[in-house]
């Protein structure tokens, strides 16, 4: 019975998060500046790799949250925080190019996203499930907001 109640609460939480994300996306789409077309092919590939890693880890976090696996949530969230594939692999020339073409706020949003992932990992390490759900929602909202602002060319749902 307790498992069913927890699963139901989690289902409701994620539906609320999706509703918030959807409404934010509609508002933000009007001010979007797609970043990818302005990046070099190398930076596009690095960003794509980081996004694929984050997507896979986020799906696994959702599974771990539903299963009540704090250790798995902590590990995955910490991996997202530490990923920074783009930053770790960039040459000085890549960094200069990104700073030149990235819309104002892009780099700060990326930093904030990785900080939320660290906060999710910390909540998982302490076993605070309510905070894990909250931080995971914030993390997914950050993804959606960034996509609406800077990648509406790739995510057409945000440009409608």
Give the pLDDT band of residue 17 (cuts 50, 70, 90).
very low
CATH number assigned to the domain comprising residue 118: 1.20.120.10
The pLDDT of residue 4: 58
Lookup: tokens for 110? 């990326």
In the chain, the percentage of residues whose pLDDT exceeds 90 is 54
Give the pLDDT band of residue 6 (cuts 50, 70, 90).
low
Domain with 54, as residue range(s), is 2-158
- What average pLDDT score do residues 76-96 get? 86
Per residue in 22-51, pLDDT (tens digit) is 444 333 333 457 898 999 999 999 989 999
- Lowest mean pLDDT: which of 9-23, 63-77, 142-156? 9-23
The pLDDT of residue 66: 97
User: Total structural domains in the chain?
Assistant: 1
Is the distance from CB of 31 to CB of 90 less than 8 angstroms?
no
The answer, yes or no, to whether residue 62 has pLDDT greater than 80, is yes
Per residue in 90-147, pLDDT (tens digit) is 889 988 998 899 988 898 998 999 999 999 999 999 999 999 999 999 999 999 999 9
Query: Nearest CA to 46 among 82, 98, 109?
Result: 98
Alpha helices for the chain (secondary structure H): 2-28, 41-67, 70-83, 85-89, 92-101, 106-125, 129-150
The pLDDT of residue 7: 52
- Lowest mean pLDDT: which of 10-14, 19-23, 44-48, 69-73? 19-23
């Amino acid at each position: 019975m307790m498992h069913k109640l927890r699963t139901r609460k989690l289902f409701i939480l994620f539906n609320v998060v999706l509703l918030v994300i959807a409404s934010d996306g509609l508002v933000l789409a009007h001010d979007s500046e797609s970043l990818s077309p302005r990046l070099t092919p190398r930076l596009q590939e690095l960003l794509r790799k980081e996004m694929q890693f984050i997507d896979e880890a986020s799906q696994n976090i959702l599974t771990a949250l539903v299963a009540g696996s704090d250790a798995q949530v902590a590990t995955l969230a910490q991996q997202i925080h530490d990923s920074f594939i783009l930053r770790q692999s960039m040459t000085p020339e890549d960094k200069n190019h990104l700073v030149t073409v990235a819309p104002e706020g892009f780099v700060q949003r990326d930093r904030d996203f990785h900080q939320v992932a660290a906060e999710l990992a910390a909540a998982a390490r302490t076993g605070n499930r309510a905070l894990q759900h909250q931080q995971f929602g914030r993390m997914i909202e950050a993804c959606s907001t960034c996509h609406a602002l800077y990648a509406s060319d790739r995510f057409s749902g945000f440009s409608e």
